[in-house]
Structures are given as C-alpha cells and as structure tokens.
Amino acid sequence: MAFFGGLGTGGLQIKIRLTGTPESHPQDIFYLRHRPSWKVRKNVFTALKSHRISSAPTLAPGGQQQQLQQQDNGPQRIMGYSCNHDTEGEVTLTMPHGKKLDHVGIQVKFFGRIDMEAGAHEGRPHYDFISLSKELLPPGSLFDTRTIPFNFRGVEKIHESYHGRNVSVKYFVRVEVQRQWLPPITQEHEVLVQLPGIEPSINEPIKMEVGIEDCLHIEFEYEKRCYHLHDVICGKINFLLVRIKIKHMELAVIRRETSGEGVALSAAMMSAGGGGGGGTTTGAKSDMSNIVTETQTLLKYEIMDGAPVKGELIPVRLYLGGIPADVTPTYHAENNRFAVRYFLNLVLVDEEDRRYFKQQEIILWRKELG
C-alpha cells in the first residue's frame, strides 16, 4: 500500500510503501472491507460489500490537509496487520526533472498514539506510547528519485487500532524532510493493527430477576457474559408475574465510549451506577471534569409484540456479526485515558408508552484477525 505527498513541497513527492501482502504473510496481514469508523451504517448490507479507497488525507507543511494523489495502477485495498508483524517498507522520494531540494536531514518515524483531539478534552490532545525515529538520509540535496528501505522490528504494539467518536488509537509511519528556515515536509501512512485475544477462562451465564413490586416480575438469562466479535448471543426471558399491559419488548446493543484523563475512576462509577442508553448518539459530560462519555445504539430490534402472560418464555438470539457497525473488543481504561464498553439493553413498553428497561454489560474479545 502506498501513499503520496507533494503539494506545496517544492515539487517533492513522497511515497510510503509497506512491504508484505496477505498472500505473502497470511498469518499477519489481511484485507479489510473498509476503513474502521465509529459510525453506524444506515444500510446493513454494506457490511457485505468490499470497499476500496481512492484517496485519503495527508499532512502538508503547516498542518493543512491535502488530498492524496491516486496511484497510477489504481486505488489500493485497505490492509490490516497483526500486532506481531514488523512494520517495514520503503520510502520513495521523487523530484521533478531539473529541480533541486536542499534539506538538513530526512527521518522516518513510527508512532503509536492515543489521540483525543476530536473531543472537548483539557490538557494534552494526544499521548504517544510509541515514538521511534531513524535517519533515512543525512543533510544534502535531492535531484532525482531515491528509494530507501526502512524497518521497525520488534516493536511491542500493546493496543489495537481504534477509531472512536472522541478518541482514537493510531499507529502510523511519518517521513519528515527537514529544511532550513522552512517547515518540514511530512507524509504519514497509518498502520491498522489488530490484537487477537484470549478466550476468558471464566465465562459464567448472566442470570437476573428484575421487576416492579406486585406489577411485573421477569427473569432473564444469557448463556454467557463474554463473546467474540462474531459470536451469537443466546438467552431467554421468562415472565413470572404480569399485571401491567405490555405492548412490546425490544433488545438493543449499546456502545459506551468514555475518554479523558482519569477515565478508570469514571468507568468504575458508571459500572456501579448501571446507566441507561438512548436511541441516538448523544454526548454528555460526566460529573468528573474532563471526562466525556458518548453513548451509541448500534442495533435495536423487537423481540416481542403483544401482551405476555405469566409463564411465557421469550427466546433471544442476536448475531454480533450482523451489527451494522465496526464492533471492537472491550477496552478497560486503556492508559487511564479511554474505555469502550458494550451493553445489552432490554426495554419493555406498556400501552401508556411507559418504558421499563434493564441494562447488562457484556465483554467482547477478538477471536481472529480480520
């Protein structure tokens, strides 16, 4: 996969190409259908289509975003990489015929970054947990085309790439052409990383009894608490007492993203408080300063229509692979800067449109790459 940079750079074009393909490294490199995003897709069938990209943002001097030039041989497919794969490739520097660029050194850098610039956070907008640099060329001049290999081997990638509403985790390669008295010419290429997880050794079923005294008493059970990203949630709901007229019942999958300094304490407080979910994406500040919480409904569907009777049993079967969004593993207060948690929200609506709900957290983990 290659990326260009060049506008406003004295004619210099920078192309970053990562070596390796899914065919040459089937255990570590894989194709992705689309670039990961926090958004819920409106058309659920788009998850079945293979997406290609023709352009992506690149950083020009001064921080302004420019549009990428497209490769001569067409757009590239998006590839993901295992956390164990060494990041290596080559940088091609191209000057137009008859032009010259003086520089004071060219470096290639590799970053692992937790970026919180999208949210209204105070303090540092990002935190680099990986920052490595290597020299590509000493000070000199560029006249023609130079291709230089690079590698960052044995780098421990402790977090998975994540693209959320207010926070993101990114790995990227940056090439910097330093110039005297002028801003450096930079080009970046993101490396999408996934981490295979380990199946939890303890995975007990979820059993709870909830209700309203002398009016409603239900018992719900899910087969387990931890699921891999393509698992099936199976369970049942048993009505032990029904004295109110229920109109319908629905089940929703909710994602809650919490970001900001000191997010571990905030996540613990929200876990103790339970919390509720809405039908749309909403942003709200928690009681703790500098903590931003984003609650998003990924999927909602009706599992019962009509009034139930005592003793009625409603089966539940939900396919996580059918959710029209990029579902990620659960993140537990990573670097004390962000957390991502998932909940099953069971809602009962009576004939007067009053809503009764119960929320239960589930743990998601990645079984395989891709």
pLDDT in tens, 48-62: 444 333 333 333 333
Q: In this structure, are residues 323 and 46 in contact, taking their beta carbons and an 8 Å threshold?
A: no
* Distance, C-alpha 82 to centroid of its chain: 15
Q: In this structure, are residues 166 and 282 in contact, taking their beta carbons and an 8 Å threshold?
A: no
pLDDT for 349: 87
CA dist., res. 346 & res. 249, Å (int):
7
Non-local (6+) Cβ contacts of 183 within 8 A are 61, 62
Q: In this structure, are residues 348 and 335 in contact, taking their beta carbons and an 8 Å threshold?
A: no
Q: What is the pTM of this model?
A: 0.81
Low pLDDT (below 70) residues in the chain? 1-9, 43-75, 118-124, 264-289
pLDDT for 75: 58
What are the tokens at 213? 């005294």
pLDDT digit string (tens) for 320-353? 999 999 999 999 888 788 899 999 998 888 888 8
Q: In this structure, are residues 36 and 171 in contact, taking their beta carbons and an 8 Å threshold?
A: no
CA dist., res. 79 & res. 29, Å (int):
7
Burial code of 133-142, b = ≥16 C-beta within 10 A, e = fewer? eeebbeeeeb
Burial code of 196-212, b = ≥16 C-beta within 10 A, e = fewer? ebeeeeeeeebeeeebe
Sign of torsion over alpha carbons 309, 310, 312, 317: positive
